Chains A and B, each alone.
Chain A
């Protein structure tokens, strides 16, 4: 097994140029817009504007990922841009909040998981098969332990 077998960081690292990113993001936003229209009461126009705002936030985040020398994954930058634009003392934050309020957060994750299901590679299925039931039990305990551990510590200090 060589270093190239390290799985691509699905949710943090990917380096096409900005225009290619913009085009792919537009496709994803269109799919999200349809999903949002199906799932919520928002009108198509409210959805369009909401997604435009989210598109701009994502693009600013991507731009920062490429230009700022301090290295953070693009999702961290996008998150920070979204936070900065909606802080109570940011001018215009009420406008941004009003526009994105028509986009349901959970609906946004649906296309992502559809891509994730299609992206499962043969090698990943093989690893799951060959790892066996012991690894499955350990994985469930790993996730439960991490989750319950975090909740437990948080509860102590709240």
Chain B
């Protein structure tokens, strides 16, 4: 890892991010209407795509401008760059504290909704796609860093479970912001769930997923922006506190049990090589 000074002085990196930011903000939010609702394209999504386009690991020709040095330096800056965003989020939660306390039970219990991945993803992985034990790592959680640590600790990352969690982690890193922005804007305009519930659900996952999700919701319902951001932010803070324990004590044991139950039928054709 380069020292902080090297990272700081990496002007190509910062200049690129500055230019990407300006371009993305100049384009602004674009609304794409589709059948059941509309999808909102946000500047942060363009920024990610533009970042990928100048990444030499994605577009080889970009190596002329951005090297592996810049790629390495960019990683710790993600954490730094999310800080002012998180600070701003805090200032949205504060004034709405009374509202958050009123929504308390829903806010705490919706953390259990994170188990929805086991209900939806796990059966499909095992029964439809015929996956082996990697389905356990892949579908017990949203596969962010703390969840990887749990799998690494219990099975090791070389195991089938490890391959599963790493696969979903990488897909989440590459496509998570898009998936959450699309989910949020579709569900917001479809009216299936209340906006408050959708806002709370945005708090799962990582900071950038929350940004994409709550940003899409706030643009779909501009008159509720403060409520949406306050609930999403509060839910995200809560996830830091409870997420790990829910995974260790509930999600992973349940997924293991389900595998014993459902996995047997597919045990004859183990499919570990995906």
A58-B83, A83-B97 known; A117 vs B47 contact (CB < 8 Å): yes
Interface residue from A79, A124, A140, A143 paired with B86 (Cβ < 8 Å): A79
- Is B78 engaged at the interface, CB distance under 8 Å to the other chain? yes
- Known contacts: A114-B50, A120-B173. The answer to whether A150 contacts B114 by CB under 8 A is yes
**A24 engages B179 (CB within 8 Å):** no
> Within the complex, what minimum Cβ distance (angstroms) separates A121 from chain B?
6
Beyond A111-B17, A111-B21, A131-B163, is A145–B183 a contact (Cβ under 8 Å)? Answer: no
A106 to B116, CA, bound (A): 28
Nearest chain-A residue to B162 (Cβ)?
A1
Q: When the two chains form their complex, are residues B171 and A131 in contact, meaning their CB atoms are under 8 A apart?
A: yes
Residue A63 interfacial (CB < 8 Å): no
Residues of chain A lying within 8 A (CB to CB) of residue B180: 143, 147
- Taking residues whose C-beta sits less than 8 angstroms from the other chain, chain A's interface range is 35 or more
Mark the stretch among B31-39, B199-207, B259-267 that contacts chain A. Answer: B199-207
For the residues of B in contact with A, the DSSP-based class is helix
The answer to whether A118 touches B17, judged by C-beta atoms less than 8 angstroms apart, is yes
A7 to B170, CA, bound (A): 10
Choose one: A78, A90, A132, A134; the contact of B94 (CB below 8 Å). A90
Q: Contacts A39-B43, A106-B42, A141-B121 hold; do A93 and B142 have CB atoms under 8 A apart?
A: no
Cβ contact within 8 Å between B204 and A146: yes
The answer to whether A120 and B89 touch (CB under 8 A), given A27-B8, A138-B121, A157-B105, is: no
Q: Are B117 and A149 in contact (CB under 8 A)?
A: yes
Please report which residues of chain B, range 1-45, place their CB below 8 angstroms from some CB of chain A when the two chains form the complex: 4-5, 7-8, 13-14, 16-18, 20-22, 24-26, 28, 42-45
Cβ contacts under 8 Å, B156 to chain A = 1
Determine if B211 and A158 form an interchain contact, defined as CB atoms under 8 angstroms apart.
Answer: no
| Residues of A1-57 whose CB lies within 8 A of B | 1, 3, 5-14, 16-17, 20-21, 23-25, 27-29, 31-32, 34-35, 38-39, 51, 54-55, 57
List residues of A (101-158) whose CB comes within 8 Å of B's CBs. Answer: 103, 105-122, 124-125, 127-128, 131-132, 134-158
